[in-house]
Structure 1
Amino acid sequence: MRTPDTAVVDVDGTLVDTNYHHALAWYRAFRRFDQTLPVWRLHRAIGMGGDQLVTAVAGARFEDEYGDDVRKAWSAEFEPMLREVRPLGGVRELLAELRGRGLAVVLASSGAPEHVETYLDLFDGRELADAWTTSEDVERTKPGPDLIAVAVERVGGRSAVVIGDSVWDFEAAPRAGHPGYAIRTGGFSTEELRAAGACGVFDALPDLHQALDEILR
């Protein structure tokens, strides 16, 4: 592998603490359509984009009948929770260090554009990142590789390192041809993240920050 010139950094669950908010919003959204799914099961799917999550947890038939409607309901349920979202510790320091080492930093979110805009305001993302993505930039989100490929292309990168928090990030990263490193803030275990393809797993962003010499060599 060539020395990375780009850092592709997931947002939800990696830079901002949203995974459990999303799980609850999806639970409430499905309940609107008389579908009660265990919250733990919904949590296991967080990190997928909404275009893939509905089929994954409720099946293709439910997607065909209610997919677009349940995604609209999820957005309505999640919207009031936005004011509760906070950045995770060490976000600014990590992004500043990545740029200081000469990497282009792309925030690879499959979230709704209005949500991503809110997140950027929480940690000075517009100043600390070179570019970012939203759900409008790809037809298929993670675990497909499209989002990561678009993120790298956006800054003219050739070799990237991917940072994320869910197993879906590390199914997507190798498909896009890049190594990935995980933090456990999404609620997945070290074993699950490694089995999904993560090259290394860290408890939190500051721990990954301290390991950059090894990751970027």
Structure 2
Amino acid sequence: MSNPDSPTVLFDVDGTLVDSNYHHAIAWFQAFQRYDVTVPVWRIHRAIGMGGDRLVARVAGDDVENRLGDEVRAAWKERYEPMLPEVRGFAGAHDLVAAAAGRGWRVALASSGDPAHVEHYLDLLDLRALADAWTSAGDVSDTKPAPDLLEVALRRAGGGPAVLIGDSVWDCESAERAGLPCVGLLTGGFGEFELRDAGAVAVYEDLPDLRAALDDLPFRVAARS
């Protein structure tokens, strides 16, 4: 485990450490279809990375959220969970987290995913012995792009200067609202320009590329710490 005086690397999980964004998009599409709501998959993908509490209204409107939000979320979970065995960790995911922990940095997984899914990913990537803390959607009332999950993850890890590693514009927005820098990855399907425009201070193609530049990570004390 890390030194209590060390900085903290906050890792998003879906789309950052595990290749799940497109599975999520298809599961949401199928969930909407159950209730005769058709949302283009591309539009759903643009919202992946924010919490499910926000996604329905974002892609289908407030009326669908008010009428069917909880039902659609339940259907999404029912559709996604059979896909879990297909979800793989990205190449280099375990090695990247291990390299951060090996430098004496604290490691926290700042996920807004379903609690059971986060537990599954911890085992899939063999991260339980490496992570100082982790979160899920069950830990806050407001998920990404609200900063709450980052603040909870950072507090659980021990505070101090931190940086977020993420793959979506929602990660960038969440980090900015928490007063933290965000380093982006192209692994979730968002483009480099989009990530930089949303506030990413650097963007890497994949996890091995980021690992090679790990010592260049910028750390900052959170504005609301």
TM-score over 0.5 (shorter chain): yes
**Which residue is 1:200 aligned to?**
202
- Counterpart for residue 61 of structure 2: 59
**Counterpart Cα distance in 1 of 2:43 and 2:142:** 21
1:91 corresponds in structure 2 to 93
Q: What is the aligned counterpart of 2:30 among 28, 39, 47?
A: 28
Task: Tell me if structure 2 keeps the 8 A contact 1:202–1:208.
Answer: yes
How far has the Cα of 1:93 moved from its partner? Answer: 1.1
Distance 1:158 1:184 in 2: 27
Q: Does the aligned pair in 1 maintain the 2:6–2:106 contact within 8 Å?
A: no
Q: Which segments of 5 or more consecutive residues in structure 1 lack a partner in the other structure?
A: none
Q: Does structure 2 retain, via aligned residues, the 8 Å contact 1:183–1:205?
A: yes
Q: Determine the structure 2 residue equivalent to 1:107.
A: 109
Corresponding residue of 2:222: none
Q: Which runs of 4+ in 1 moved over 4 A?
A: none
Distance 2:73 2:6 in 1: 36
Normalised by the size of structure 2, how large is the TM-score? 0.93
Q: What is the distance in 2 between the residues matched to 1:81 and 1:214?
A: 36
Q: TM-score, normalization: structure 1?
A: 0.96
Per the alignment, residue 41 of structure 1 pairs with 43
Q: Which amino acid aligns with 1:194?
A: R
Partner of 2:20: 18
Aligned 8 A contact 1:6 1:160 in 2: yes
- Aligned residue type for 1:121: D
Q: What are the superposed Cα offsets for residues 132-190 of structure 1, whole Å, 9 maximum, x if unpaired? A: 10111010111111111111011221211100001100000011111010110000100
Bigger mean CA offset, 3-12 vs 151-160: 3-12
Q: Which amino acid letter does the alignment assign opposite residue 201 of structure 1? A: V
- Alpha-carbon contact 1:107-1:151 (below 8 Å) kept: yes
Aligned partners of 1:27 and 1:38 also within 8 Å: yes
For residue 127 of structure 1, give the secondary structure of its aligned residue in structure 2. coil
Q: In 1, Cα distance between the equivalents of 2:93 and 2:115?
A: 20
Unmatched 5+ residue regions in structure 2?
A: 220-225
The count of corresponding residues between Structure 1 and Structure 2 is: 215
Could you tell me which amino acid in structure 1 is paired with residue 118 of structure 2?
V
The residue that corresponds to 1:131 in the other structure is: 133
- Which stretch of the first structure deviates more once superposed, 183-192 or 91-100? 91-100
Aligned to 1:149, what secondary structure does the other structure show? Answer: helix
Give the corresponding residue for 1:72. Answer: 74
Letter in 2 for 1:76: E
Q: Which residue of 2 aligns with 1:163?
A: 165
- Cα pair 1:4 1:160 within 8 Å, conserved: no
TM-fit CA distance, 1:103: 1.2
> Any idea what SS the aligned residue of 1:125 has?
coil
Distance 2:29 2:17 in 1: 23
Q: Indicate the percent of aligned positions where both proteins have the same amino acid.
A: 59
The whole-number CA distance in structure 1 between the counterparts of 2:32 and 2:115 is 22
Could you report, residue by residue, the CA deviation over 1:93-116 in whole angstroms, capped at 9, with x for unpaired residues?
111111111211001111111111
